[in-house]
Chain A
Amino acid sequence: MYLKNALCAATALTLITATSAFADTITIATVNNGDMIRMQGLADDFTKKTGHEVEWVTLEENVLRQRVTQDVAAKGGQFDIMTIGMYETPIWAANEWLVSLADLPASYDADDILPAMRAGLSHDGTLYAAPFYGESSMIMYRTDLMEKAGLTMPDAPTWSDVEAAAKAMTDKDNEIYGVCLRGKAGWGENMAFITTVANSFGARWFDENWKPQLDTPEWKAAVTFYNDLLNNYGPPGASTNGFNENLALFQQGKCGMWIDATVAASFVTNPNDSTVADSVGFALAPNKEGVDKRANWLWAWALAIPAGTQKEAAAKQFIEWATSKEYIELVASKEGWANVPPGARTSLYENPDYQKVPFAAMTLESINAANPDAPTVQPVPYVGIQYVAIPEWAGIGTAAGQEFSAMVAGQQTVEEALSKAQANTAEEMEAAGY
Chain B
Amino acid sequence: MARAVTTRRKTINTVAAWAIGLLIFFPILWTILTSFKTEAQAINDPPLFLFFDWTLENYAVVQERSDYMRFLWNSVIIAGGSTVLGLIVAVPAAWSMAFVPSKRTKDILMWMLSTKMLPAVGVLYPIYLLFIEMGLLDTRIGLTIVLMLINLPIIVWMLYTYFKEIPGEILEAARMDGATLKEEILYILTPMAIPGIASTLLLNVILAWNEAFWTLNLTAAKAAPLTAFIASYSSPEGLFYAKLSAASTMAIAPILILGWFSQKQLVRGLTFGAVK
Contacts and interface: CB of A to CB of B under 8 A. Distances in A.
B43 to A, nearest CB: 4
Interface stretch (B92-100, B106-114, B140-148, B230-238): B230-238
A251 B38 CA distance: 14
Interface stretch (A51-59, A332-340, A347-355): A51-59
B88 interface: no
B53 interface: no
Interface stretch (B4-12, B156-164, B213-221, B265-273): B213-221
Highest count of chain A CB atoms <10 Å: which of B45, B129, B221, B237: B237
Interface in B214-271: 216-217, 220-221, 224, 228, 231-240
B184 interface: no
Nearest to A33: B237
Interface string B109-147: 000000000000000110011011000011000000000
Contacts of B3: none
A244 B216 contact: no
Using C-beta atoms within 8 Å of the partner chain, give the interface range for chain B.
Answer: 20 to 34
A398 to B, nearest CB: 15
Contacts of B221: 27, 55-57
Interface size range on A against B:
35 or more
A32 B233 CA distance: 6
A63 B216 contact: yes
A84 B98 CA distance: 53
- Looking at chain B's contact residues, is the secondary structure mostly helix, strand, loop, or mixed? loop
B65 interface: yes
A273 B216 contact: no
Contacts of A31: 235-236
Contacts of B231: 58-60, 63
A267 interface: yes
Nearest to B61: A37
Interface string A40-80: 11000000000000011111110100110010001111110
Nearest to A135: B237
A167 B39 CA distance: 31
A248 B129 CA distance: 41
A79 B220 contact: yes
Nearest to B44: A252
A247 interface: yes
Given A29-B220, A70-B128, A267 B238 contact: yes
Interface of B: 39-40, 43-45, 65, 124-125, 128-129, 131-132, 137-138, 216-217, 220-221, 224, 228, 231-240
21 contacts: A32-B234, A33-B236, A34-B238, A55-B221, A57-B224, A57-B232, A60-B234, A60-B236, A63-B231, A66-B217, A70-B124, A70-B128, A76-B128, A77-B132, A243-B237, A244-B236, A244-B239, A261-B237, A264-B237, A273-B239, A275-B40
